[in-house]
Structure 1
Amino acid sequence: MSTPRRASEMANRRPSVLDSPSSRRQSGRSSRRPSIDPSRLIPIDKAIATTGSDFNVVFIGAGNIMFGSDEGPWNHSFRLEHKLGPRLKVVALIDPAVERATAVLQKKCETFVRSAYENTRVFRTLEDFVKNMSRKDIPRAVIVGSPPMFRGTTQPGRDIELQIMKFFPGVALFVEKPAATGPVHEIEEAFSIARHIKETNTICSVGYMLRYLRAVQMMKQIIDDNNLTVMATIARYACAYEAIAKPDWWDKSRSAGPIIEQGTHFCDLSRYFGGDVDISTVQAHSLEWNENAGHLSKMKVDETAIPPENRIPRVTAATWKYESGAVGSFTHLVALQGHDYSCELEVYADGYQLKLVNPYVQPVLYVRHPGSDHEEMHRFPDDDPFFSEISVLIDNIEDIEEDPETAQILCDFEDACKSYQLTWAIREASERNKKTEAQASVTTSASAA
């Protein structure tokens, strides 16, 4: 039996993971390109599992993000199984819903990946695991897929990143996006966690998987190879609301709203091309649920059960300036029916238009070059950015020799916090404008009377 202090001491004695090589790997990563040669991002079925000794992993969260569902392509366990092969050993699954966690493990043990899960133990909390672990259970990576309201802060019970770094200093982190979904005044707490991760040279990747699309990396390659300066980014995200049956998603007090919970991917992708945003320039307007154009005819949830002030907007349209001087815009719509979403991102530079269409399912990239009105079309069949982000994380963890060909992690915690900050700025700007419009309407009505 190990106490938390003992576990920390044991972790500190793992020289291959935690001692001076950590800082060397950190410096090596910082010198690498913030992009990846698209040709190095191979389909999951072409990947060859890494070789070596057992690779211990702890999973935090037993939900859809970790084990998959019919609602989307996410499934971190599946990607780790393909990257590590028989080396993968999931030593613990942390989730207060013990019955659900036990059930998903049982299903895994009925498949060909049984060796990864046959000795996995379920715990309600990370501290419970630490108290009951042995030296052979020390993880090399912790995968955090718990709901965002339980992470990204310094408050007990919502500080999983700090808890991991306390119990397992130097062990790598993979954290799902967004960084958090708490009140806006807690954003600084997320940045303080980012600083701690950086100061301790902890390898950390955040799950903004769209950065790892081959189409996105081709866009980066075109910009880099031609020494271009981005002038503008234009993003649009129209979700198929008929397929969203989770009441929490429609409640801003629980999900933080569609910009923060869902639009975060496109805000992050916009920042990936445009750079840091001047937050003071963010402006936004929204179409609300109670306006004539905001009526939706095929909702699967009973919105009357949600307090009016917590109901989500149907459309949010935002603009901002990047610190470089470039301009960004993003429109999020809760408008489509059926199942498929409609999403696009355009990036403009002198002479160039790069247009990414349908990035979540079958990405297509249209490229217009200087001197031509023609758009080249590039398709990327069988691309799996979820696998690529996991693959890059593992390669960075095992990159003891600082191989320059090892790709840099494309989104660290600080970068994720900046995307989170932008989404909150958009929500706040739209709510300010809505309040101003309401006050102006009252004033006009009073004057008319």
Structure 2
Amino acid sequence: MSSRRPSERRGSDRRGSGMSSRRPSIDPSRLVPMDKTTHIGGGDDFNVVFIGAGNIMFGSEEGPWNHSFRFEHKLGPRLKVVALIDPAIERATAVLQKKCESFVVSAYQDTRVFKTLEDFVKNMAPRDKPRAVVVGSPPMFRGTLEPGRDIEMQILKYFPGVAMFIEKPIATGPRHEIEDGYKIAKAISDSNTICSVGYMLRYLKAVQMMKQIIEENNLTVMTTIARYACAYEKAAKPDWWDKSRSAGPVIEQGTHFCDLSRYFGGEVDISTVSAHSLEWDENAGKLSKMCIDESVIAPENRIPRATAATWKYDSGAVGSFTHIVALHDTNYSCELEVYADGYQLKLVNPYVQPTLYVRKPGDEMEHAIRFPDDDPFFSEISNWIDIIEDIEEDPEAAQILSSYEDAVKTYELTWAIREASERSRAAKLQAGADAAKAQKAETA
């Protein structure tokens, strides 16, 4: 049976609240599938507040995300969701009703629904104080210091010291609000709050094996090459196709692979980011399977069909990322390649059936290592809860792999890619206009 670590251990590096030269990692053998674990022991209730009643929190047919399901398995009968915060009261009430009709009724039978966190605080009994808050609200409503979009600062104000789990990306607001993100990161770090951001691909066993190979062989990464090709046919949310609402696919969707690139390559020299895009009004950018009416979106806010970016890391290594809106049906096609002297590490299909292809010195063949039924969503939640609980077993057993500050840096990179591609497009349009003007002058 695991024992609890004294409270002063909570200041350790396991929390991942700050950045260091060596990015945190976990022995891949410690990432155990959810169906091979039992719920965490103890007799006391574990109070949780869920902010957001959407798909990320309660699941959907579109993907494997469903935080509530992982919490139920990790905490078992100890889980008590004391509040569900969502302005859409009817939706929140509906998902709670489904939970209360299932075998996990004990976690939700006393859950109350509130429109805002402030409403919950005003009506909270002492016994309802949370041990953890999970933020799964849309990114456009968080990650800033603006009232109504400052949920992280509200949590720090009302519940100092209470652990936070925050979904990615940390925001999808205007570029100038990135500075707010760094201020929030500092406030979280200064308060010694346990905080994890949901870049779940870092918790893949395949990703941690890549880290293990690099560390055990004392390798220096030379380049990262990432590709994210999404299947757009089922993308039925108009907001996703509107840059003014979603901030665009690189920021909202490609963020996972920009984050993985940083995880292996290190910090990016933002001044070196260069990018080009294929736009909706170019011949190759016309799509045949769109399920929304793009004509209702202002032309300047329509998303690019492809974006290709390159940059330099502070280490001298180079990175590249390509995001593509092209595939039909439902399955995406995503890959990340990491190169070091003598080594090629290639992660394929991380969302569905992760496979790692490894080429080492002395062997020109790629060797495939498959990871069936890996669940990084559970691993990230499980590690975060272990740190909250201060499980004694081994100080290396649980690590937070993405701090808030780290997530802000990924957000900054994705914005830099978008801006670089928009500058390239503007320059091309201006060059075309200048050429047309010059030709007109010649024929006048």
> Which residue pairs with 1:117 in the alignment?
108
Q: Does 1:25 align with 2:10?
A: yes
Q: Does 1:47 align with 2:43?
A: no
Secondary structure of the corresponding residue to residue 82 of structure 1 = helix
> Which residue pairs with 2:210 in the alignment?
219
Query: Runs of at least 4 residues of structure 1 off by over 3 A?
Result: 30-33, 400-403
Question: Given the alignment, which residue of 147, 165, 170 partners 1:174?
Answer: 165
Question: Given the alignment, which residue of 175, 180, 185 partners 1:184?
Answer: 175
Secondary structure of the corresponding residue to residue 191 of structure 1 = helix
> Which residue pairs with 2:405 in the alignment?
414
> Which residue pairs with 1:13 in the alignment?
none
| Matched AA of 1:251 | D
Once the 2 structures are TM-superposed, how far is the Cα of residue 33 of structure 1 from its aligned partner?
7.4
| Matching of residues 218-237 of structure 1 within 5 Å | 218-237=209-228
Secondary structure of the corresponding residue to residue 279 of structure 1 = strand
Deviates more, 1:392-401 or 1:37-46: 392-401
| Matched AA of 1:217 | Q
Deviates more, 1:283-292 or 1:395-404: 395-404
| Matching of residues 6-25 of structure 1 within 5 Å | 21=7, 24-25=9-10
Q: Output the CA distance in 2 between the equivalents of 1:127 and 1:60.
A: 12
Question: Given the alignment, which residue of 280, 296, 308 partners 1:289?
Answer: 280
| Matching of residues 239-318 of structure 1 within 5 Å | 239-318=230-309
Q: Output the CA distance in 2 between the equivalents of 1:415 and 1:42.
A: 25
> Which residue pairs with 2:19 in the alignment?
none
| Matched AA of 1:133 | M
Secondary structure of the corresponding residue to residue 363 of structure 2 = coil
Once the 2 structures are TM-superposed, how far is the Cα of residue 26 of structure 1 from its aligned partner?
2.1
Q: Output the CA distance in 1 between the equivalents of 2:76 and 2:163.
A: 19
| Matched AA of 1:34 | P
Q: Does 1:346 align with 2:337?
A: yes
| Matched AA of 2:128 | D
Q: Does 1:153 align with 2:144?
A: yes
Q: Output the CA distance in 2 between the equivalents of 1:400 and 1:67.
A: 27
Partner deviation per Cα, 1:131-189 (whole Å, 9 max, x = no partner): 00111101000000000011100010000000001000000000000010000000000
> Which residue pairs with 2:361 in the alignment?
370
Once the 2 structures are TM-superposed, how far is the Cα of residue 372 of structure 1 from its aligned partner?
1.3
> Which residue pairs with 1:38 in the alignment?
28
> Which residue pairs with 1:432 in the alignment?
423
Partner deviation per Cα, 1:104-149 (whole Å, 9 max, x = no partner): 0000011110000000000010000000011110100000000001
**Maintained 8 Å contact 2:9/2:390:** no
> Which residue pairs with 2:98 in the alignment?
107
**Maintained 8 Å contact 2:15/2:195:** no
Once the 2 structures are TM-superposed, how far is the Cα of residue 406 of structure 1 from its aligned partner?
2.8
Q: Output the CA distance in 2 between the equivalents of 1:336 and 1:445.
A: 35
| Matching of residues 125-164 of structure 1 within 5 Å | 125-164=116-155
**Maintained 8 Å contact 2:26/2:396:** no
| Structure 2 gap segments, 5+ residues each | 17-21
Aligned residues: 431
**Maintained 8 Å contact 2:342/2:361:** yes
Q: Output the CA distance in 2 between the equivalents of 1:441 and 1:344.
A: 35
Once the 2 structures are TM-superposed, how far is the Cα of residue 247 of structure 1 from its aligned partner?
0.4
**Residues 1:421 and 1:307: Cα distance change in structure 2 (over 3 Å):** same
> Which residue pairs with 1:332 in the alignment?
323
**Residues 1:33 and 1:426: Cα distance change in structure 2 (over 3 Å):** closer
Once the 2 structures are TM-superposed, how far is the Cα of residue 445 of structure 1 from its aligned partner?
1.0
Q: Output the CA distance in 1 between the equivalents of 2:438 and 2:33.
A: 65
Once the 2 structures are TM-superposed, how far is the Cα of residue 225 of structure 1 from its aligned partner?
0.4
Q: Output the CA distance in 1 between the equivalents of 2:12 and 2:380.
A: 20
**Residues 1:158 and 1:33: Cα distance change in structure 2 (over 3 Å):** closer
Partner deviation per Cα, 1:275-320 (whole Å, 9 max, x = no partner): 1100000000000000011000110000001000100000000000
**Maintained 8 Å contact 1:35/1:407:** no
> Which residue pairs with 1:4 in the alignment?
none
Q: Output the CA distance in 1 between the equivalents of 2:199 and 2:94.
A: 28
Partner deviation per Cα, 1:51-73 (whole Å, 9 max, x = no partner): 11110000000000000000111
**Maintained 8 Å contact 1:250/1:303:** yes
Once the 2 structures are TM-superposed, how far is the Cα of residue 339 of structure 1 from its aligned partner?
1.0
Q: Output the CA distance in 2 between the equivalents of 1:192 and 1:222.
A: 35
| Matched AA of 1:24 | R
Q: Output the CA distance in 1 between the equivalents of 2:144 and 2:39.
A: 35
Q: Output the CA distance in 2 between the equivalents of 1:160 and 1:128.
A: 13
**Residues 1:351 and 1:385: Cα distance change in structure 2 (over 3 Å):** same
> Which residue pairs with 2:346 in the alignment?
355
Q: Output the CA distance in 2 between the equivalents of 1:24 and 1:337.
A: 49
Secondary structure of the corresponding residue to residue 65 of structure 1 = helix
Once the 2 structures are TM-superposed, how far is the Cα of residue 238 of structure 1 from its aligned partner?
0.4
What TM-score comes out, normalization by structure 2 length?
Answer: 0.95
Q: Output the CA distance in 1 between the equivalents of 2:164 and 2:120.
A: 17
**Maintained 8 Å contact 1:33/1:407:** no
Once the 2 structures are TM-superposed, how far is the Cα of residue 27 of structure 1 from its aligned partner?
2.3
Question: Given the alignment, which residue of 65, 85, 89 partners 1:98?
Answer: 89
Q: Output the CA distance in 2 between the equivalents of 1:83 and 1:317.
A: 40
Q: Output the CA distance in 2 between the equivalents of 1:356 and 1:98.
A: 41
| Matching of residues 62-101 of structure 1 within 5 Å | 62-101=53-92
Once the 2 structures are TM-superposed, how far is the Cα of residue 28 of structure 1 from its aligned partner?
4.6
Once the 2 structures are TM-superposed, how far is the Cα of residue 371 of structure 1 from its aligned partner?
1.3
**Maintained 8 Å contact 1:148/1:180:** yes
Secondary structure of the corresponding residue to residue 441 of structure 1 = helix
RMSD: 1.5
Query: Percent same amino acid at aligned positions?
Result: 76
